[in-house]
Amino acid sequence: KAWLGRLQAQDVVHDAEGTAPVVALEQMVAREIDVVQFTSVPSVPSEHQGKLLGIIDRLSELKSSGVNALVLAPICAQLPGMGPFGRAALNYFSPNPSLASDNS
């Protein structure tokens, strides 16, 4: 294993022929969320709290408030206790493993 871990290849079925939703910049309603804080609420199942998967549990809430774009922070691997907010990016190309729903 690599020091920072590695991503497992997965066979994911998706509609490659479909088109991605396009939102004009003038129509964009973006919300920046801290993944851990946003998902650490009673309405999110305990196994999803503090995880990226917990965002899905609150998507209808975001959509009903008009949000059509998300900015997720922090999601990259970090050095704890460093930086102005007590965290500093270790590698911008490595997702934070603590946000995964499991270690597989």
Would 93 be classed as within a structural domain?
A: yes
Would 41 be classed as within a structural domain?
A: yes
Would 49 be classed as within a structural domain?
A: yes
At residue 22, the pLDDT reads: 79
Domain coverage including residue 90: 27-99
Would 58 be classed as within a structural domain?
A: yes
Torsion of CA 20, 21, 26, 30, to 10 degrees: -100
Would 14 be classed as within a structural domain?
A: no
Would 4 be classed as within a structural domain?
A: no
Domain count, the chain: 1
Per the structure block, which two tokens stand in for 89? 């990016």
Would 88 be classed as within a structural domain?
A: yes
pTM of full prediction above 0.85: no
pLDDT digits (tens, 9 = 90+) for 57-76: 999 999 999 999 999 887 88
Identify whether the C-beta of residue 83 lies closer than 8 Å to the C-beta of residue 63.
Answer: no
Identify whether the C-beta of residue 50 lies closer than 8 Å to the C-beta of residue 35.
Answer: yes
Q: What is the mean pLDDT of each run of 10 residues along the chain (104 residues)?
A: 54 64 88 93 95 93 94 82 70 83 61
Would 55 be classed as within a structural domain?
A: yes
